[in-house]
Amino acid sequence: MSQARLAPCLQLPLENKTLVNVIEKAKDWALMHGVGMRDKKHFNKDVIQIAPFILLPSPFPKTEFMKAVELQPVLNELMHKVAHDDEFLEQTLQNALQVDEFTANLYDIWLKVKNEGISQSLSLGLFRSDYLLQHPDGNVLKQVEFNTIASSFGAITSHLPNMSRYILRQLGHGDLIKNMPENRALSGLCSGIIEAFDLFGVLNAVVLFVVEEVSYNICDQRFHEFEISEKRPEIQIYRKTLNEIYEETELNDKKQLILDGHPVAVVYYRSGYEPAQYPTAREWDARLRVERSTAIKCPSIHYQLAGTKKVQQALAGPGVLEKFMGSGTSTSRVRDIFTGLYSLDFDESGERAVEMALADAERFVLKPQREGGGNNVYGSEVRDALTRMRHSRERAAYILMERILPPLVSGYMIRPGAPVPPPLVDLVSELGIFGVIIGTKEKIYCNRQVGHMLRTKLADANEGGVAAGLGALDSPYLL
Ligand code: ADP
Ligand code: MG
Ligand code: MG
């Protein structure tokens, strides 16, 4: 793998004494500004520790950053159209639905709600499009995936650049701060929830966050609540698990979702994107109840279905983008960010994709219809998995994606409890751009790009889950 380097913002390594000194400052800054998480190993609700972060902002090419920013409204609208094209969703997902129970359950809810008559035609999307740079092509942007549910870290990564700025000043390099872009992801994402609340337009209505049993990423979630409360003091926010929603809500005769005597205006899912979050039929019943209601869902279930890997792969097929977007320059700009994406359906093209991957497994990633990290298959395991699934319908639950080879950057990863000073390590960064959209099939009320996040992982890790300790929150330094 030829992976050249992007130059760091400062000459590295830092001298040891300086490094130890600024890390202590950075950690305290982080703790005192909510760059934190709850500890999975020694869980204690009263204790928040630093979220893993990168000490100095990581380099990212400015032109590619701007390209991602400019494309976001285009991608928002594309996904909105995809989500409202029933026939396309059905055709695209049909084979995966046969073998993927989770996606099938979501799809069944969608069918049920449609057959009963949709009681809320507005959807709210708080999206995040993720990218790696493809080094062999000259460090151009390639889309990793498009998240339509529970897109996280908008809040923490809105605060983090201020830490990087503080550290740069402490190191006597305040002049470099001009290369760090503003990030207003938190207020932008919250503005979407507030606008949806206003469109719902019912006095006394409330906002409901659907949360996990235990929220480890509590800072990121709570900041949304604080921000909304500050901007709109009258808006009450509840946090409930799907099981609590099952027990504590009901639909009234107007199909309003009633919680604690209040109609729910907006349901914001920070949970509900993976099978483990539906341990019993109660959670599915709760999801169905919410989807039947007049509440504006973030995301609505068809937005969630449009966010599947299978849809991402289908969009890369010949003529598909043109069907949704026409054949103008926007279409070719979107096509440019796609990397090779292949169906593994049980047909001729699926067969060809299997052959191609078996011949050169290292070139690909195998992805199931899952969210939240840790589900993909890499390297030689791609060959093992495809050999095992070759003659089984199970393979239709996956897509095959060309592996993106990002450039390396050097940096210091700061993790809770890790020895100080940490080694200078090779890292790779993944950029996420946040978007907000609100609309019905016929009309889009708002559509904008609202901010970014950078997540950086050890270069030799396949994935960079922040909670898993392989990834860390970061800020871009534009080159
Ligand atoms: P999830 O929805 O679980 O986050 P992703 O598609 O984002 O799924 O994959 C998880 C991680 O795997 C990404 O953050 C990235 O680090 C890595 N990854 C995914 N696709 C590719 C790819 N095509 N090339 C290289 N790395 C990838
Ligand atoms: Mg995802
Ligand atoms: Mg991802």
pLDDT tens for each residue of 4-26:
999 999 999 999 999 999 999 99
pLDDT digit string, tens, across residues 186-233 = 999 999 999 999 999 999 999 999 999 999 999 999 999 999 999 999
From the CA of 309, give the closest atom in ligand 1: 6
Beta carbons within 8 Å of 126's beta carbon, 6+ residues apart: 151, 154, 189, 192, 193, 268, 298, 299, 434, 435, 436
Give the per-residue pLDDT at 36. Answer: 97
Give the per-residue pLDDT at 470. Answer: 86
Query: Does 367 lie in the same domain as 334?
Result: no
pLDDT of 281 > 80? The answer is yes
Query: Does 365 lie in the same domain as 226?
Result: no
Active-site pick, 293, 455, 464, 469 = 455
From the CA of 457, give the closest atom in ligand 1: 16
Quick check: is 323 in a domain? yes
pLDDT digit string, tens, across residues 66-104 = 999 999 999 999 999 999 999 999 999 999 999 999 999
Whether the upstream peptide bond of residue 279 has omega within 30° of 0, thus cis, is: no
Quick check: is 6 in a domain? no
From the CA of 144, give the closest atom in ligand 1: 20
CA 241 to chain centre: 20
Query: Does 262 lie in the same domain as 349?
Result: no
d(CA 478, CA 63): 9
Name which residue sits closest to atom 22 of ligand 1, judged by CA. 403
Residue 408, phi then psi, degrees to nearest 5: -90, 150
Q: Which residue has the tokens 């993909």?
A: 376
Quick check: is 173 in a domain? no
Query: Does 327 lie in the same domain as 382?
Result: no
Q: Are strands 206-210 and 53-54 parallel, antiparallel or unpaired?
A: unpaired
Active-site pick, 27, 64, 139, 145 = 145
- Domain boundary pick from 355, 370, 403: 403
The first and second tokens of residue 122, run together, are 């507005």
Give the per-residue pLDDT at 468. Answer: 75
Domain count, the chain: 2
Ligand 1 pocket test: which of 1, 376, 405, 458 has the largest number of ligand atoms within 8 Å of its C-beta? 376
Give the per-residue pLDDT at 463. Answer: 87
Annotated active-site residue 394? The verdict is no
Active-site pick, 76, 123, 129, 147 = 147
Q: Average per-residue pLDDT in the chain?
A: 96
pLDDT band with cut points at 50, 70 and 90 for residue 350 = very high
Annotated active-site residue 139? The verdict is no
Query: Does 365 lie in the same domain as 384?
Result: yes
Q: CA of 86: how far to CAs of 77, 95, 168, 302, 426, in Å? A: 16, 15, 51, 9, 44
d(CA 274, CA 302): 16
Give the per-residue pLDDT at 132. Answer: 98
Q: Are 155 and 220 in contact (CB under 8 A)?
A: yes
Q: CA of 166: how far to CAs of 38, 163, 170, 182, 289, in Å? A: 24, 5, 6, 15, 47
pLDDT of 347 > 80? The answer is yes
pLDDT of 360 > 60? The answer is yes
Tell me the mean pLDDT in the region 59-64. 98
Quick check: is 14 in a domain? no
d(CA 151, CA 147): 6
Quick check: is 47 in a domain? no
Quick check: is 327 in a domain? yes
Share of the chain above pLDDT 90, in %: 96
Annotated active-site residue 309? The verdict is yes
pLDDT of 464 > 90? The answer is no
Residue 233, phi then psi, degrees to nearest 5: -55, -25
Query: Does 468 lie in the same domain as 322?
Result: yes
From the CA of 455, give the closest atom in ligand 1: 14
Ligand 1 pocket test: which of 455, 463, 466 has the largest number of ligand atoms within 8 Å of its C-beta? 463
Annotated active-site residue 292? The verdict is no
pLDDT of 2 > 60? The answer is no
Give the per-residue pLDDT at 467. Answer: 73
Quick check: is 25 in a domain? no
Structural domain containing residue 384:
341-403
* C-alpha torsion 106→112→118→123, nearest 10: 0
Between the CA of 149 and the centroid of ligand 3 the distance, in Å, is 11
pLDDT of 64 > 90? The answer is yes
- Domain boundary pick from 354, 388, 403: 403
pLDDT band with cut points at 50, 70 and 90 for residue 469 = confident
Q: What CATH number should be reported for the domain holding residue 328?
A: 3.40.50.1760
Annotated active-site residue 443? The verdict is no
CA atoms within 13 A of residue 42's CA, in its CB half-sphere: 6
* C-alpha torsion 109→449→57→470, nearest 10: 10
Quick check: is 37 in a domain? no
Query: Does 263 lie in the same domain as 323?
Result: yes
The closest ligand to the CA of 465 turns out to be: 1
Between the CA of 278 and the centroid of ligand 1 the distance, in Å, is 23
Between the CA of 132 and the centroid of ligand 1 the distance, in Å, is 9
Beta carbons within 8 Å of 14's beta carbon, 6+ residues apart: 22, 171, 412
Between the CA of 71 and the centroid of ligand 2 the distance, in Å, is 18
Pocket of ligand 1 (CB under 6 A): 130, 132, 144-145, 365, 367, 370-373, 375-376, 401, 403-404, 430, 463-464
pLDDT digit string, tens, across residues 333-346 = 999 999 999 999 99
pLDDT of 248 > 50? The answer is yes
Name which residue sits closest to atom 12 of ligand 1, judged by CA. 463
Annotated active-site residue 372? The verdict is yes
Active-site pick, 297, 309, 395, 457 = 309
Active-site pick, 350, 372, 379, 465 = 372
Query: Does 448 lie in the same domain as 397?
Result: no
Between the CA of 312 and the centroid of ligand 2 the distance, in Å, is 11
Q: What is the 3-state secondary structure (H, E, C) of the chain?
A: CCCCECCCCCCCCCCHHHHHHHHHHHHHHHHHCCCEECCCCCCCCCCCEECCEECCCEEECHHHHHHHHHHHHHHHHHHHHHHCCHHHHHHHHHHHHHHCHHHHHHHHHHHHHHHHCCCCCCEEEEEEEEEEEEHHHCCEEEEEEEECCCCCCCCHHHHHHHHHHHHHHHCCCHHHHHHCCCCCHHHHHHHHHHHHHHHHCCCCCEEEEECCCCCCCHHHHHHHHHHHHHHCCCCCEEEECHHHHHHHEEECCCCCEEECCEEEEEEEECCCCCHHHCCCHHHHHHHHHHHHCCCEEECCHHHHHHCCHHHHHHHCCCCHHHHHHCCCHHHHHHHHHCCCEEECCCCHHHHHHHHHHHHCHHHEEEEECCCCCCCCEECHHHHHHHHHHCCCHHHHHEEEEECCCCCEEEECEECCCCCCCCCCEEEEEEEEEEEEEEECCCCEEEEEEEEEEEEEEECCCCCCCCCCCCEEEECEEEC
Query: Does 244 lie in the same domain as 225?
Result: yes
Give the per-residue pLDDT at 3. Answer: 67
Q: What CATH number should be reported for the domain holding residue 371?
A: 3.30.1490.50
Query: Does 452 lie in the same domain as 391?
Result: no
Query: Does 392 lie in the same domain as 300?
Result: no
Query: Does 278 lie in the same domain as 320?
Result: yes
Annotated active-site residue 371? The verdict is yes
The first and second tokens of residue 361, run together, are 């497994």
The closest ligand to the CA of 148 turns out to be: 2
